[in-house]
Structure 1
């Protein structure tokens, strides 16, 4: 079940959600270079993360930011202080030209995709050559993927190996990764400040302890198409003509 936009919004408005956003945003910021002229698109529910990216980039005098939200989720206005920069979209058919985006982040997006490979193929299409993408998903190996009171407890969680595999198949081979949210969510929702301490301890013990996987990749252009993007073959369909059946392409 995909949580609606109001549910996710309320989570990130809470003290607990704000601490979650701060920890994950730190990982995203370390992976994306500062480019004053970059076009940055967030897909899923990325508003807390786009806020932080925009603050950093605008300090460098520039940057354009847009938030895309899936139709199944719903949409809300962003940012609050200026004209709306959010758009309701079909994730497998983004309203963007080929190679038009420099940076893309996916949060609360890939784990809800019925066709993850097709979604990543669409991301590959809109990214500029050597464009950057950062994908955040629930870590299958950690308790956050079962915490239904948070947005990370919904959809399909991924292990690091699973996410690396599906991204590499679409020519978005990961080149760096990290995790966040090392402390389990069940006992700290009333003590969000402990989360930062837990992440520091978790980083010293193991890189893979976090409940959220954060993976970075750049678009690869090798003169080939992503896996599975060859021209669709005709599907045999039985039709009746003059008392006999034959195959036809659709």
Structure 2
């Protein structure tokens, strides 16, 4: 996928997310992202793409940025866009971010491997990455395959949907260990809100009986660094006070100066 096709597909995704099916996906992803990011500690977090979803809404990190991969992207109710850049060249210092969220970025990127390499570079050791994507092994994925013959595409046509096993293989090559994975949105590929509501029971049944066939998935991974390991509190002799344990995700080297790895002011220079 070249850069022009990538931008066209992102625009198509922006429009699709405003449809009833898009609202259905956004509601599930927002709920799961709120649950995941609330328990990730650190100082600096970055969301790349899909401003229709506030992926860092529940994060308690002091520095949070929303970045887009193309200019003039606006969404009602979304946070202001802090900066715009090519996801294959992230303008942050190496090992400077505690959390990066990629909601539907890889499947519409011209070079998804390069995007992951850049994310691995900017994450601190034990930093975390969350990826959202459409699941090709689902009713929606099947509808997308048949649309190649019928021309009636349900999801954005230009997207290259990546299976979760394939994502895990890519992450493994970068020493990114997968800690959690989630699937959701089990309703068939319906276009209207009444029909999606009619199949709401499939969300409960699917999570129990066919959990790996949800229309969307979410992968949470941690950057592992060879030669490093977490060390627990050193317990002293009986009667002595044990030291206070600090979450490992918080214990990283702060940059010189104040807080952000590459502040917005410095990016403007």
1:21 is aligned, of 26, 36, 41, to 26
Q: 1:78 Cα shift?
A: 6.5
| 1:186 is the counterpart of 2:181 | no
Q: Which stretch shows the higher mean deviation, 123-132 or 110-119?
A: 110-119
Which residue of structure 2 aligns with residue 231 of structure 1? none
- Name the TM-score, length of structure 2 as normaliser: 0.68
Match of 1:86 in 2: 82
Give distance in 2, aligned partners of 1:99 and 1:20: 32
Match of residue 47 from structure 1:
52
Query: Which moves more between the two structures, 38-47 or 198-207?
Result: 38-47
Contact 2:138 2:215 in 1 (8 A): yes
Is 1:99 aligned with 2:84? no
The 2-side partners of 1:81 and 1:163 are apart by 27
Contact 2:9 2:159 in 1 (8 A): no
Equivalent pair of 1:78/1:85 in contact (CA under 8 Å): no
Q: Can you list the C-alpha shifts for 1:111-133, whole angstroms capped at 9, x where unaligned?
A: 12333222111000111221111
Give, in whole Å, the separation in 1 of the partners of 2:217 and 2:191. Answer: 21
Task: List runs of 5+ in structure 1 lacking aligned partners.
Answer: 225-250
Query: What's the offset of the Cα at 1:44?
Result: 2.4
- Output the CA distance in 2 between the equivalents of 1:36 and 1:161: 27
Distance 1:189 1:154, change over 3 A: farther
Unaligned residue ranges in structure 2 (runs of 5+): 148-152, 229-269
Change in CA separation of 1:21 and 1:195 when aligned onto 2, cut-off 3 Å:
farther
Q: How many residues end up aligned between the 2 structures?
A: 214
Secondary structure at 1:193 match in 2: helix
CA RMSD of aligned residues (A): 2.9
* 1:170 has 2:174 as partner: yes
Is 1:76 matched up with 2:81?
no
Higher strand content, 1 or 2: 1
C-alpha separation in 1, matches of 2:104 and 2:169: 19
Could you report, residue by residue, the CA deviation over 1:219-244 in whole angstroms, capped at 9, with x for unpaired residues? 111169xxxxxxxxxxxxxxxxxxxx
The residue correspondences of 1:1-250 to structure 2 (distance < 5 A) are 1-2=5-6, 3=8, 7-34=12-39, 38-50=43-55, 53-54=56-57, 56-57=58-59, 63-71=62-70, 74-77=71-74, 84-145=80-141, 146=144, 148-151=153-156, 154-186=158-190, 189-194=193-198, 196-222=200-226
Measure, in 2, the Cα distance between the counterparts of 1:41 and 1:126: 10
Instruction: Note if contact 2:98-2:124 (Cα within 8 Å) is conserved in structure 1.
Output: yes
Aligned counterparts of 2:174 and 2:54: Cα–Cα separation in 1: 25
Contact 1:75 1:88 in 2 (8 A): no
CA-CA distance at 1:106 after TM superposition:
0.7
TM-score, L = length of structure 1: 0.72
Distance 1:47 1:186, change over 3 A: closer
Q: Distance in 2 between matches of 1:75 and 1:6?
A: 11
